[in-house]
């Protein structure tokens, strides 16, 4: 089963937008993420509806942040993506009258609920600015975020 990497990929985009200081087209972002620009547009449209990004059409247009990185948490982005389950583990419902299935589901359900609550609490405690600061501290180029409008979006590799 493939894992859902949307949160990770969107965080990647948002940090780049915050550090780069200019708009980026769907084509640029898609090339960076090795995906289709349609996927980028569809995903970022949901974030636009939640006020995290904005888009401009036409020449010189593209996607930009609509807020500061210190105003957004991982939880905000998770919610903007639709708040899907954070775990792929599910409960069985093949035979709901079976006492074994009931016991298993009760134990798993309780453990999953506690783990999800802890994970979402942690998501709420981490701001995108924290991630950007980590990137800046570990960037081998040791320079401030780019402000060059012509510079392409690229990943710093350590």
The better pLDDT of the pair 88, 129 is held by 129
**Vertex 45, ends 127 and 123: CA angle to 5°?**
20
| Structure confidence at residue 157 (pLDDT) | 47
Yes or no: domain 6-86+127-138 corresponds to CATH 1.10.10.10 = yes
User: What residues does each domain of the chain span?
Assistant: 6-86+127-138
Predicted confidence (pLDDT) at residue 60 exceeds the cutoff of 70: yes
- pLDDT tens string 8-59: 999 999 999 998 888 999 999 999 999 999 999 999 999 999 999 999 988 8
Could you tell me the pLDDT band of residue 143, with boundaries at 50, 70 and 90? low
The rounded percent of the chain whose pLDDT value lies above 70 is 88
pTM above 0.75, yes or no: yes
| Structure confidence at residue 45 (pLDDT) | 94
Q: Report d(CA 145, CA 136) in Å as an integer.
A: 8
- pLDDT tens string 38-50: 999 999 999 999 9
Predicted confidence (pLDDT) at residue 95 exceeds the cutoff of 50: yes
**pLDDT, average across residues 120-138:** 94
Element (H, E) at 37: helix 37-49
**pLDDT, average across residues 85-102:** 89
Coil/strand/helix, residue 24: strand
Could you tell me the pLDDT band of residue 155, with boundaries at 50, 70 and 90? low
Q: What is the DSSP track for 92-142?
A: --S-TT-HHHHHHHHHHHHHHHHHHHHHHHHHHH-BHHHHHHHHHHH-TT-
| Structure confidence at residue 151 (pLDDT) | 60
């Amino acid at each position: 089963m493939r894992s859902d990497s949307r949160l990770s990929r969107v965080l990647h985009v948002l940090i780049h937008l915050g550090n780069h200081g200019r708009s980026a087209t769907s084509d640029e972002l898609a090339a960076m993420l090795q995906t289709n620009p349609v996927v980028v547009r569809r995903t970022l449209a949901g974030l636009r509806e939640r006020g995290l990004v904005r888009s401009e059409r036409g020449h010189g247009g593209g996607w930009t942040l609509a807020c500061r990185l210190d105003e957004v948490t991982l939880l905000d982005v998770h919610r903007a993506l639709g708040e899907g389950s954070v775990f792929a583990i599910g409960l069985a419902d093949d035979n709901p009258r079976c006492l074994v299935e009931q016991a298993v589901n009760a134990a798993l359900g309780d453990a999953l609920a506690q783990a999800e609550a802890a994970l979402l609490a942690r998501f709420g405690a981490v701001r995108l600015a924290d991630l950007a600061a980590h990137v800046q501290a570990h960037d081998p180029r040791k320079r401030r975020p780019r402000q060059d409008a012509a510079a392409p979006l690229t990943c710093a590799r350590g």
